[in-house]
Amino acid sequence: MTPVFINFNGEILPADTKLFTLKNRAFRYGDGLFESMRLMKGQLKFADLHADRLQRGMKALKIDSYSQMDAWFLKEKAGDLARRNKAKHGRLRLTVFRDAEGLYTPSQNKMAWCLEIQPSDEPRYFLNSKGLIMDIFADLPKPTNYLSNIKTCNSLIYVMAGLYKTQNNLDDVFLLNQHGFLCEAGSSNIFIWYRKHLYTPALSEGCVEGVMRQVIIKIAKQNNIPEIGRAHV
């Protein structure tokens, strides 16, 4: 199902509307960040976690008005866009970027945003029972700094990893950080179950701070898994 409408800075517009000029900072410099979210049965999943991560990311990038992007805002805008597109389930992407002029140094830190939805017929998560064909993408190690945990608009490492995956007929790839340690997969965090412990790379290893990562850690603790290991894996 092709989406019909988007929400651009609070205005519902046709999805094929031409919105940006060549001066757009997300286009020129990747100056922004985004949230990928799931809508199920008309409800935005994990709105509090998405809002918290988005606000912390905007604050780190010094984009103004980050407090506006709270859980209530996300749920309201997601629900409204879903109704306009007659979608009960789907994948949402909220892109927030710095709306300013200037070269590398912006003239201001004003926020702009755009919310998109890709409708889906499936209201559930599925566990892959067949396994995946994977390899290590080592051409571009991921840096370990405070931007590494944020889903920024500068995603060239993941683009190149995706090309490597396609060229080698893989389902996904593992990414390494600058120290040669396992960091994450091309489009997800990594968990390993070993000797009754659940291990996942620490945020200090440079992985994205995934919302589903937080959910899995919480579920593991609720099920009395004795320790969540976060050492090098």
**What is the amino acid identity at position 229?**
G
- Answer yes or no: is pLDDT of 96 > 70: yes
**What are the structure tokens assigned to 156, written together?**
């060239």
Q: In the predicted model, what is the mean pLDDT of residues 91-102?
A: 97
- β-bridge partners, 5: 14
What is the model's pLDDT at position 232?
A: 44
pLDDT surpasses 80 at 42: yes
Tell me: the pLDDT tens digits for 200-225?
999 999 999 999 999 999 999 899 88
Half-sphere exposure of 38 (CA within 13 A, CB side): 11
Mean pLDDT computed over every residue of the chain:
94
Phi, psi of 118 (to 5 degrees): -115, 100
- Express each pLDDT in 49-91 by its tens digit: 999 999 999 999 999 999 999 999 999 999 999 999 999 999 9
Stretch among 90-94, 127-131, 229-233 having the lowest mean pLDDT: 229-233
> Which of 89, 46, 77 is closest to 209 using CA atoms?
46
Query: What are the pLDDT digits (tens) for 3-14?
Result: 799 999 999 999
pLDDT of residue 195: 85
The pLDDT, as a whole number, for residue 233 is 41
pLDDT of residue 229: 54
pLDDT above 50: residue 192: yes
